[in-house]
């Protein structure tokens, strides 16, 4: 009965997806709620996922010349005010510091919601000549945005992220860096997280405050809602003009730099949960699974069983491997391993040892594979690679099957009333139509994909000539 109870504690995803999500993050001990309203405690199991994301993403950044720095967490109000669109965009979410100890501050400071203004202020004093360019910097830090509605990983008042901030001599270099970083995010999601994404440009209504252009990767969750999973912004020279960031070019003239910024946050952990999870809990892609292999000794009190399990752990040390030698029943251990999403379980008992075999169980499919103990390391390597690949293929199939196209408003409305997912439809380019669609249907433009198709002559909202194909969806 105890074994059954563990899984029963997770609400079925088809019954109540939001409750399923909350149950999973709590039961898998990824987070805990704190007494700081709107903020979460990231527990070891959750933080270990973030560390693996951080390590692999950081390597991908550095391969393109990115260097890590760290900026202050406070921004004086006068600095935040320098770029008008930027301050207006963030004003509703800013947390202010008004006192230092017992004394009121002469100028209040905000806790960084994002660090454009700090980097601009720094670049203004650090960049003088074309020889100082490009600056390709990134920082790993936390930011604070005073959200009204919060949900673990998806939206909290303080969250962890990386934010890249670069300065370039030309508009072309800035555009190249903006797109290159978006492609890194897309590759990372697909190759490491097994999450396929749609890449494209945001509409002006949805772009970052102060940006010339914003590009994003959009992922589709199991429930058919979209999650913006990474963004890359081209600032042109707007911030440079506001902060007077100029350099002396080779021809001895003063020119403004062109800037970019790009970020991915702990919200991507929410995407991993919602793309891959099932009614038994988490299903972790092997490349970011804190534990890739869990060895479960069967009848572990019998002579030689625990010793063999420990010997296997040593043999498989190139993987992230653990032995569950707790005094819980095997059934309970299986349920727990499944709920935590550990990709591979190895079951080994007295009869297996005698036969020189073990049982490998895949978390993603539940498939059980009898394997020889000889050469087990190679076998596990193949199984983990297969899991990683199969998870991406399943998620890609889900994305394909839940992406529709609508030629007119009637079809557009009907699809969103009956189905969940992305809808590709044409748009005239007018903000008014975007706002009408959002108001009437709670649907937002996700992005204008780089790969443009022409599926109708007219806008899905107003019937005027269409300019762009847009992916539309309901979003987190």
What digits encode the pLDDT tens for the residues 272-324?
999 999 999 999 999 999 999 999 999 988 999 999 999 999 999 999 999 99
Give the pLDDT of residue 196.
98
Number of other residues whose CB lies within 10 A of the CB of residue 20: 23
Number of other residues whose CB lies within 10 A of the CB of residue 177: 25
Chain segment 68-113, per-residue pLDDT in tens:
999 999 999 999 888 777 778 788 899 999 999 999 999 999 999 9
Cα–Cα separations (whole angstroms), residue 149 to 145, 232, 233: 11, 25, 26
Number of other residues whose CB lies within 10 A of the CB of residue 171: 13
Query: Is residue 216 predicted with pLDDT exceeding 80?
Result: yes
Number of other residues whose CB lies within 10 A of the CB of residue 11: 17
**Averaged pLDDT of the chain:** 95
Give the pLDDT of residue 8.
61
Residue where the block lists tokens 């009956």: 418
Number of other residues whose CB lies within 10 A of the CB of residue 113: 19
Q: How is the chain split among helix, strand and coil, in percent rounded to 5?
A: 40, 30, 35
Q: How far apart are CA 423 and CA 472, in angstroms?
A: 5
Q: How far apart are CA 22 and CA 404, in angstroms?
A: 29
User: Average of pLDDT values for 228-246?
Assistant: 97
Give the pLDDT of residue 269.
98
The burial of 432, by beta-carbon neighbours within 10 Å (0-12 exposed, 13-18 middle, 19 or more buried), is given as: exposed
Query: Is residue 4 predicted with pLDDT exceeding 70?
Result: no
Give the pLDDT of residue 2.
40
- The band of 1, judged by pLDDT with boundaries at 50, 70 and 90, is very low
Going by C-alpha positions, the residue among 22, 40, 20 that lies closest to residue 31 is 40
Determine how β-strand 254-256 pairs with β-strand 246-248.
antiparallel
For 468, phi then psi, to 5°, come to -140, 150
Going by C-alpha positions, the residue among 122, 226, 200, 209 that lies closest to residue 167 is 122
Query: Is residue 9 predicted with pLDDT exceeding 90?
Result: no
Q: What percent of the chain has pLDDT over 70?
A: 98
Q: How far apart are CA 361 and CA 368, in angstroms?
A: 4
Q: Does 12-276 carry CATH code 3.30.930.10?
A: yes
How do the domains of the chain map onto residue ranges?
12-276, 291-385, 403-473
Q: Which CATH superfamily is domain 291-385 in?
A: Anticodon-binding domain (3.40.50.800)
Whole-prediction pTM? 0.95
Query: Is residue 251 predicted with pLDDT exceeding 80?
Result: yes
Structure tokens at 146: 């005073």
Q: Vertex 117, ends 144 and 179: CA angle to 5°?
A: 90
Structure tokens at 68: 């890590």
User: Average of pLDDT values for 192-216?
Assistant: 96
Going by C-alpha positions, the residue among 290, 280, 275, 262 that lies closest to residue 189 is 275
Query: What is the DSSP track for 44-71?
Result: HHHHHHHHHHHHHHHHHHHTTT-EE---
Chain segment 136-195, per-residue pLDDT in tens:
999 999 999 999 889 999 999 999 999 999 999 999 999 999 999 999 999 999 999 999
Query: What is the DSSP track for 400-432?
Result: HHTEEE-SSHHHHHHHHHH--SEEEEEE-S-HH
What is the torsion angle, in degrees rounded to the nearest 10, for the CA atoms of residue 83, residue 230, residue 198 and residue 438? -50
Give the pLDDT of residue 335.
94
Higher pLDDT, 6 or 333: 333
Q: How far apart are CA 54 and CA 161, in angstroms?
A: 9
403-473 has which CATH code?
A: 3.30.110.30
């Amino acid at each position: 009965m105890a074994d059954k109870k563990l899984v029963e504690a997770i609400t079925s995803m088809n019954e109540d997806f939001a409750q399923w999500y909350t149950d999973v993050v709590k039961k898998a001990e990824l987070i805990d709620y704190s007494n700081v309203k709107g903020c979460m405690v990231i527990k070891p199991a959750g933080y270990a996922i973030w560390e693996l994301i951080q390590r692999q993403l950081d390597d991908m950044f550095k391969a393109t010349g990115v260097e890590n720095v760290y900026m202050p967490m406070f921004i004086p109000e006068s600095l935040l005010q320098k770029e008008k669109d930027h301050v207006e965009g963030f004003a509703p979410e800013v947390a202010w510091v008004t006192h230092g100890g017992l004394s009121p501050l002469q100028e209040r400071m905000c806790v960084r919601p994002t660090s454009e203004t700090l980097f601009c202020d720094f670049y203004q004093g650090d960049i003088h000549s074309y020889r100082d360019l490009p600056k390709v910097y990134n920082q790993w830090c936390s930011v604070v945005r005073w959200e009204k509605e919060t949900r673990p990983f998806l939206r909290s008042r303080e969250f962890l992220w990386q934010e890249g901030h670069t300065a370039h001599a030309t508009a072309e270099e800035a555009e190249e860096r903006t797109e290159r970083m978006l492609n890194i995010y897309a590759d990372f999601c697909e190759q490491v997280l097994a999450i396929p994404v749609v890449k494209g440009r945001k509409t002006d209504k949805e772009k970052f405050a102060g940006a010339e252009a914003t590009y994003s990767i959009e992922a589709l969750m199991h429930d058919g809602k979209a999650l913006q999973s990474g963004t890359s912004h081209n600032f042109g020279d707007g911030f440079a003009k506001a902060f007077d960031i100029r350099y002396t070019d080779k021809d001895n003239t003063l020119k403004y730099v062109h800037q970019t910024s790009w970020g991915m946050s702990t919200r991507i952990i929410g995407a991993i949960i919602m793309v891959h999870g099932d009614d038994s809990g988490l299903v972790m892609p092997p490349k970011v699974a804190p534990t890739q292999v869990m060895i479960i000794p069967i009848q572990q009190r019998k002579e030689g069983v625990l010793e063999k399990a420990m010997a296997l752990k040593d043999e498989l040390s190139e993987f992230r491997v653990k032995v569950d030698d707790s005094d819980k029943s095997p059934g309970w251990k299986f349920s727990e391993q499944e709920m935590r999403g550990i990709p591979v379980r190895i079951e080994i008992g007295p009869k297996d040892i005698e036969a020189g075999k073990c049982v490998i169980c895949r978390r993603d499919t539940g498939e059980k594979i009898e394997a020889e103990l000889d050469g087990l390391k190679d076998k596990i390597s193949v199984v983990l690679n297969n899991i990683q690949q199969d998870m991406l293929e399943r998620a890609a199939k889900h994305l394909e099957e839940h992406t529709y196209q609508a030629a007119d408003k009637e079809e557009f409305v009907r699809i969103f009333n009956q189905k969940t997912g992305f809808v590709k439809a044409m748009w005239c380019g007018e903000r008014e139509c975007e706002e009408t669609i959002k108001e009437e249907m709670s649907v937002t433009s996700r992005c204008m994909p780089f790969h443009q198709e022409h599926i109708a002559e007219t806008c899905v909202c107003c019937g005027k000539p269409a300019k762009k194909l847009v992916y539309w969806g309901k979003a987190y």
